[in-house]
Amino acid sequence: MTSPRRMLVCESDTPYYHIVSRCVRRAFLCGKDQQSGKNYEHRRHWVEDRVRILSSVFAVDVCAYAVMSNHYHLVLKLDSSQAEDWSDYEVALRWTALFKGPILLQGWVNEGAVAPDCRETLNDMLRVYRKRLCSLSWFMKCLNEPIARRANREDGCTGHFWEARFKSQAIRSEADLMACMAYVDLNPVRATMAPTPESSEYTSVRERIKPSLSWQRAVCDHITEYSLMHAQLMLKPLLPFRNHSEAQRRGDYKAHCLPFTEKEYLSLVDWTGRIAREDKHGRITSTAPPILDRIRMPPEDWLQRALNYEAHRGRRHRQTSLT
């Protein structure tokens, strides 16, 4: 018998979770079906873009992701402290960016006023929505359900698109976090879908190296659809790596970032990807140069990149301090 999600997810124990969701019968419903010959590759960017939209609305940060042909992986960080800093009005804007909401909430958002005898009811609503915007279960509901409906509508059918409920695994140490992120980013390499991490589509490692591709698509295709402009939000980038100099200056190693540097992580991914596994066909060839050489990033540029991470991304978004 499965356990309730509230017993499996506890932010006070660890904010990091590895999520896996598979297509029903593990069919290639997000890739090229070898049996039918149909190509569903376009659905993979549905998942990628939807994850970006939801991370911008929820108090959830994306550390890593990989969208495969019949499943996807996410490494997420829950951060309720972000939601605690939101005003009631911002909570309402974020919620109505995803859902229509009750008439009382709609009236308050649009008119900025509410009858005195309805204020307590409105406050109760906002407390519920603030909690939901920190919830892993609600994040996944808002991710999987619209994609399933859209795919079924495209196929002209009904029924399940995703296999059972999503699987979540708590990540309890820095070493486990690095290992899990590397595992996720190397999925296309292990599946022989790409020769190197930076050439693998629909992965976080590719986005970190070439961020403009998916950023521009998400902005052009989905801003209007998901009403982020109405919510006065900017698309949030992936959770950044730690900047050694900045952390030392602030004396804060629990800032709004991953607990290791980009160079450390990419070197680990490159090294891990070269190791042959008996249960997998793909790996980075031993003749491939180091990842910094392949992406044409001189070692001396790493310091400048780390010191000016946000400027390098070319995007700004709201950030709140982490506990």
Separation between Cα atoms, residue 208 and residue 205, nearest integer Å: 5
Separation between Cα atoms, residue 166 and residue 118, nearest integer Å: 37
pLDDT recorded at residue 245: 52
Which sequence spans correspond to the domains of the chain?
Answer: 11-79+134-313, 82-132
- Picking from 144, 136, 183, 113, the residue whose alpha carbon sits closest to that of residue 22 is 144
Q: What is the pLDDT of residues 205-258, one digit of tens each?
A: 998 887 654 454 544 454 444 456 555 677 788 999 887 555 444 444 455 889
pTM: 0.82
Count of positions (residues) in the chain: 323
Separation between Cα atoms, residue 203 and residue 206, nearest integer Å: 6
Question: Within 10 Å of residue 190's Cβ, how many Cβ atoms?
Answer: 16
Sign, CA torsion 275/192/197/187 = negative
Percentages (nearest 5) of helix, strand, coil residues in the chain:
50, 10, 40
Q: What is the mean pLDDT of the chain?
A: 80
Sign, CA torsion 273/274/277/281 = positive
Q: Which CATH superfamily is domain 11-79+134-313 in?
A: Transposase IS200-like (3.30.70.1290)
pLDDT recorded at residue 307: 39
Q: What is the pLDDT of residues 101-144, one digit of tens each?
A: 899 999 998 888 888 899 999 999 999 999 999 999 999 999 99
Contact predicate 67/188, CB 8 Å: no
Identify any residues that bridge with 73 across adjacent strands, giving them in sequence order: 20, 66
Give the residue carrying structure tokens 């904010």. Answer: 15
Instruction: Name, in order, each residue with C-beta under 8 angstroms of 156's C-beta and a sequence gap of 6 or more.
Output: none
Separation between Cα atoms, residue 228 and residue 234, nearest integer Å: 7
